[in-house]
Each structure stands twice: as C-alpha cells, then as structure tokens.
Amino acid sequence: MLSPLPSRPFVILLPLRICSSGKQIRFGQYRFFFSSSDGSEPPHVHAEHNGQVAKFWLDPIEKAKSGRLPAHRLTAIERLIIDHQVELIEAWNDYFGD
C-alpha cells in the first residue's frame, strides 16, 4: 500500500522502465528519452506525451522548453522528474558514459 507524501498527497510513484535501447524511459503515459546529439549539453531529458515534447534540465530541475504541452502535463512531468531525478541522472550517465 502506498502512503501519501505530505507535500503532494496524490502522487503515485510509477515503476521506472528503461527500454532496450537504453535511452528511452517510460513513466505511465509519459515517454522520457535522450538524443544521441545531447551529450555536449548539461544533463537533461525530453518528455513526450501525445506527440508533444518538452525538455527539462536535470540538475537543477528546470523546464527548458514546453513543447506546447498544457500546464497540467508539464506539472505532472516535473513531479515525475523530481521523484525520479536520481534514476534519470544515472540513465543519462550510463547512456553518455559519464
């Protein structure tokens, strides 16, 4: 049974699923991915929902591009990134070899 988090009582931590390519990560209905051309930039992740893609820096967590996603989707994506920041940074480092 999941216990509620005090600051965000309705957040459910979804299982992390890294696809076989190693550069795609799924959290429920959102697909997070890295692009092979991103290695020269600071760690970040692209988040896709229904064909719209946003970009978030991972440390510190900050929206870089909204990709026309509505505010409630961006908020949900940012919460997932906050909750899974360590795993996302580890996946970035594994993919880009840091």
pLDDT by residue (tens digit) across 21-70? Answer: 556 788 888 999 888 888 899 999 999 999 999 999 999 999 999 999 99
| 48 domain residue, yes or no | yes
Residue 6: asked if its preceding bond is cis (omega within 30°), the reply is no
| 62 domain residue, yes or no | yes
| 79 domain residue, yes or no | yes
| 39 domain residue, yes or no | yes
| 37 domain residue, yes or no | yes
Please give the Cα distance from 83 to 40 (Å, whole number): 25
Task: Tell me if the pTM is above 0.75.
Answer: yes
Domain hosting 46: range is: 17-96
| 31 domain residue, yes or no | yes
What is the number of domains present in the chain? 1
| 26 domain residue, yes or no | yes
Closest CA to 96 of 30, 39, 46: 39
